[in-house]
Amino acid sequence: MVTGKPFLTVEQIQARVRELAEKISADYEGSEILVVGILKGAVIFFSDLTRHIRTPINMDFLIASSYIKDHTSGKVKIHADLREDINGKHVILVEDIVDSGLTLKYLYEMLLERNPASLKICALLDKKSRRKVDLQIDYRGFEIPDEFVVGYGLDYEDKFRNLPYLAIFKKVSG
Q: Where along the sequence are the contacts to ligand IMP (CB under 6 A)?
A: 41, 66-67, 72, 95-103, 148-150, 154-155
The interface partner of residue 153, options being ligand IMP, Mg ion, none and the CB cut-off 5 to 8 Å by kind, is none
> Between vectors from CA 55 to CA 124 and to CA 30, what angle results, nearest 5°?
125
Q: Which is nearer to ligand IMP, 51 or 75 (CB)?
A: 75
The interface partner of residue 14, options being ligand IMP, Mg ion, none and the CB cut-off 5 to 8 Å by kind, is none
The interface partner of residue 55, options being Mg ion, ligand IMP, none and the CB cut-off 5 to 8 Å by kind, is none
Catalytic residues, by residue number, are: 99
Q: Which residues of 34-73 are buried (b: 16+ CB within 10 A; e: fewer)?
A: bbbbbbbbbbbbbebbbeebebebeeebbebbbeeeeebe
Q: Which is nearer to Mg ion, 37 or 41 (CB)?
A: 41
Site for Mg ion, rule CB under 5 A: 41
Give the shortest CB-139-to-ligand IMP separation in angstroms: 16
Of all residues in the shown chain, the one whose CB is closest to Mg ion is 41
Give the shortest CB-98-to-ligand IMP separation in angstroms: 5
Instruction: Classify strands 57-68 and 71-80 as parallel, antiparallel or unpaired.
Output: antiparallel
Residues sharing a CB contact under 8 Å with residue 97, sequence separation 6 or more, in sequence order: 41, 123, 124, 125, 126, 127, 149, 154
66 neighbors 97 (Cβ within 8 angstroms): no
Q: Which is nearer to ligand IMP, 39 or 119 (CB)?
A: 39
